[in-house]
A and B are shown apart, each in its own frame.
Chain A
Amino acid sequence: MGAAQVVILCLAGLSLLLSAVALRRDKVPVWRFAPPEEIPSQGTPRFETVFEYDITEGQAHAPSLVVTHKGFELLWFEGSAEAQADVDIHFARFERTDEGWLKADQGTRISRAALGAAMEPGQLVVTLGNTVENEARPGHVFATVVSVGGWAMASVADVKMGPQGPVSARKLNLSPFLNRSHLVKSPMVKFADGSYGLPAYFEMGATHGALVRFTKDGRVRDTVRMSGEGKPIQPMIVPLTETHAVAFLRDFDPSGQVLRCETPDGGQTWTDAAPMAMHNPSAPVAALSLGHGLILMAANDEAAPNDRLSLLLSQDEGETFHPIEELAPQGAGARYPMLRTLADGTILLTFSVGNKKGLRVLAFNSDWVAVQ
């Protein structure tokens, strides 16, 4: 046996030791969703417009809701145009008072320069996109970050926020191709062990949705793909039981329909995404479970890109939907809805209007949905 072989055997021994450490530290993801809770009744139907924001120049788009102790924070990207090198993440913070919703603050939340400086390793940030709350780590958000190229070269960054902006940030490791082409759009999914999964999507080539699982310190621990017909992106996952969930995906191909897939095993495997009987102009949808198999959805429900936005209800676990309210009429340029619930049963809905020229936030409750 030569010296090289002795060195290699020593390295193999060291590897066994490292594996023992890694295995001892590892927590295998639990593949059971947190059972969906019924949204509590507030007694009387309520529906109100909380926020109307319009701009005359540039674009404001992809609004997202972050739930806070006193209410919620709205995040969106704004700049001269989508994917340009002057786009930052803006915010408006809302608190509930006896008189209703109060806008407590508004401004820039994440600038490209601040995020680039906070990133570890430090690096260039050219533009920013869809940003969602990291529900697993209070004070964190997931931001879509572009350092080189366009959206197909984007990465998802876990950003720790402070009062003045980003404190620290690091890109999630989701792809072996320079860690590129992953984006986020929809809220996280809660699992039975208290952890959360992040719906993400791969936008280069043969696109696919992904469900990302994390270690307790926020590093990527596993990913599962959602692929199938068309070009599925922007998965919106709605758990129905501990093991059964349905996902609605935007078809990046202009098929004119929403794609749908299901998991029977807590998200470990997904059926092939296939078109469902619902028109859609290649736009993302938002959805949430109301309990008892009811699913509320906000979606552009026309095949033509007129950008009418409707609120729809499914009574058969997302197989079919019927409209219950037209939120924005044809030609309103309404897009990119997001739905979230607050602890008191308030349902929040946000979307952009006027072809990225404005934002809306609506608040209503399950009692209002019930009487539609």
Chain B
Amino acid sequence: MTEQATQASVAVVLGWVVFAVTALVLPAWLALICAVASGGVCATIWRKTVAVNGFVALLAPFGIMLPALALRDVAVEFGLPVPGFALLEILLFLLLYTGFLLAAFGKLPFDFYRYGYAPKPVAIMVLVICFYSLLTGNWFLAAVAVIAQGIWTLGWGSSNWLDHVLHVVLWPVAAVVLLTQLI
């Protein structure tokens, strides 16, 4: 199932890139058709090409959050009511995620990543996210956390739950979103 999940992630992430670019010059519905077509072709017909194999080698494991955010972005473009994140939440995420990555690089004297392998810490982290989501009404965040837990429990993809809800690409994405909202 890891290969199928990867194909789906490739289709969504590459399709989203195409959507974001084509939506600048085309109507949203036409951009969506271009995105679905190009994402689908890349994930199936071109899956074994050097370019797509290299894309997978570079970014896998994709996890849930990255494709989920891509889908959310498209959904919002079409007016669907999918909750997003406030400026303060993005800022806090950037700070915490930067600390998390620094710790992973050994620049901070703790290793938070290892807690993503064990069921008990994962259970606590998911429930904390659900509680926070309950307070803010952000069902999207809770859904990503729980779907990630389901996939992790099934043994698909990464053996670390944190890989399912985080991705290094989120750092520049969050930074750009934060800057655009501030400007």
Contact = CB atoms under 8 A, between A and B. Distances in A.
A121 B56 contact: yes
A227 B109 CA distance: 10
Interface string A277-321: 000000000000000000000000000000000000000000000
Nearest to A6: B139
A124 B57 CA distance: 6
Contacts of A7: 139, 142-143
Interface residues of A, number: 52
A222 interface: yes
A15 B151 CA distance: 11
Interface stretch (B25-33, B86-94, B111-119): B111-119
B106 A22 contact: no
A323 to B, nearest CB: 34
B153 interface: yes
B84 interface: no
Contacts of A18: 126, 146, 149-150, 153
B60 A123 contact: yes
Nearest to A5: B134
B47 to A, nearest CB: 7
A90 to B, nearest CB: 23
Interface string A140-158: 0000000110000000000
Contact of B101 (A177, A223, A225): A177
Contacts of B100: 176
A143 B113 CA distance: 23
Interface string A82-110: 00000000000000000000000000000
Interface stretch (A198-206, A255-263, A336-344): A198-206
A371 interface: no
Interface of B: 2-3, 5-7, 47-48, 50, 53-54, 56-61, 83, 100-101, 104-107, 111, 113-114, 117-120, 122-123, 126-127, 130-131, 133-134, 137-139, 142-143, 145-146, 149-150, 152-153, 155, 158-160, 162-163, 166, 168
Contact of B153 (A22, A147, A175, A227): A22
A357 interface: no
A225 B106 CA distance: 9
A222 B134 contact: no
Given A7-B142, A176-B101, 14 more contacts: A7-B139, A11-B130, A11-B142, A15-B127, A15-B130, A18-B146, A25-B153, A121-B7, A147-B58, A205-B106, A206-B107, A217-B155, A223-B117, A224-B114
A143 to B, nearest CB: 14
B111 A225 contact: yes
Contact of B134 (A9, A15, A221): A9
Contacts of A121: 2-3, 5-7, 56, 60
A186 interface: no
A14 interface: yes
A208 B105 CA distance: 9
A177 B155 CA distance: 20
A8 interface: yes
13 contacts: A7-B143, A8-B134, A12-B127, A12-B142, A15-B123, A18-B126, A19-B122, A22-B149, A124-B50, A124-B54, A175-B104, A177-B105, A217-B155
Contacts of A178: 58-59, 168
Interface in A14-59: 14-16, 18-19, 21-23, 25-26
Given A14-B146, A221-B117, A173 B137 contact: no
